[in-house]
Every structure is written in C-alpha cells, then in structure tokens.
Amino acid sequence: MATNISAELLFSLLQHEKATGELQQLQPDFYAQVNRFLDSLASNRDSEEQSRQFENTKRMLASLAEKRKQKILLYIAYNKPLPAIVPVEDEKLYNDVRELLASGGSNQKISRLKIKSDIPEVLTTEGRRIGPFRQGEIVEVSDSSDIEFMIKNKIGEIVA
C-alpha cells in the first residue's frame, strides 16, 4: 500500500472497505500517517475549499474507522484471526475485546449509587454520556471512571 496519504486514497480505501466483508490490510502506522495528513490539512484551511476538504477528509476517516471496528467485532464473533498487516490501533481493539470476552467482564466492579438530585444527561471528562437521573434513584455503574466522576461532581453517592 502507498504510504502517501491523500483524500483520494482515503476515499478509495473507504469504498473498498464498504465493498468487501474482509478487513483490508493496512500499514501498522496507518492512523498515525492519516493524523499527520489531517494536521497538514488543518494548518492550510485558508479558503472555503480547503476547509471543506478538511471536514470531508475527517468524515471519510471516521467512516473508515467505524467500518473497520464493525469488521473487527465480526472477526471476534466468528473467532477469526486478523489479516497479517493491520494498524496497531485495530490490533489493540481486537486483543482488548477478546480479552474482555475471555474474562467474562469479571474484572469489572459494579457499584450502586444513589443520585443526589435531578440531573440531565451529562458528558463525562472521557466523553461518555451518563444520565438523565432522578433524585433518590439508585443506579448501577460498572465503569470506575464514571463512578469517580459521579462522586467527585456530587451527582451520586455509593450505597451498600
């Protein structure tokens, strides 16, 4: 595969990824290369056309990454190995999900929290949405960072 990233190459990769059920082989540093390309586009957004190209390229990359994630999950579901050459990020996702499934999620601690007041849906510092919650409601939360966020921001308190 060519290492010169361009909008045309990303479009071609996206079309190929959509057209086949197999995960394409991409260089291990593919996403790093794409991020460098995006950075160069971002620094040259002087005109309307350049801004549009930057936004379109970001959307193409997001679609490509999403399609690859879907395929990786299917590979896991069918216990199929990844192609020989894939980006480091794809391999990490594959291994992390397989590990999580193998452990049965048993390493997650579920905590019960009592909500202190009515709260609309909020965005955590890690970008996850939690809520909405009603005052007095008891919720079960398994993500330790969400638990920490809710306690630190006085959204809820741990109950036995």
Helix (H), strand (E), coil (C) string for 48-90: HHHHHHHHHHHHHHHHHHHHHHHHHHHHHHCCCCCCCCCCHHH
Q: What are the φ/ψ torsions at residue 19 (nearest 5 degrees)?
A: -80, -15
Specify the CATH architecture of the domain 7-103: Up-down Bundle (1.20)
Q: Is the peptide bond before 28 cis (omega within 30 degrees of 0)?
A: no
Single-letter amino acid, residue 103: S
- Poorest-pLDDT segment among 2-11, 21-30, 56-65, 70-79: 2-11
Q: Could you tell me the residue ranges of all domains in the chain?
A: 7-103, 111-159
Q: Tell me, which fold does domain 111-159 have in CATH?
A: Ribosomal Protein L9; domain 1 (3.40.5)
Return the HEC string of 114-155.
Answer: EECCCECCEECCCCCEECCECCCCEEEECCHHHHHHHHHCCC
The share of the chain scoring above pLDDT 70, in percent, equals: 95
pLDDT over threshold 70, residue 105: no
- Same CATH topology for 7-103 and 111-159? no
* Residue whose entry in the numeric block shows the structure tokens 């193998």: 102
Q: Distance between alpha carbon 66 and the CA centroid of its chain, in Å?
A: 8
pLDDT over threshold 60, residue 76: yes
Of 64, 74, 65, the closest CA to residue 98 belongs to: 74
Task: Please give the pLDDT value at position 106.
Answer: 54
- The tens digit of pLDDT for each residue in 48-72 reads 888 899 999 999 999 999 999 999 9
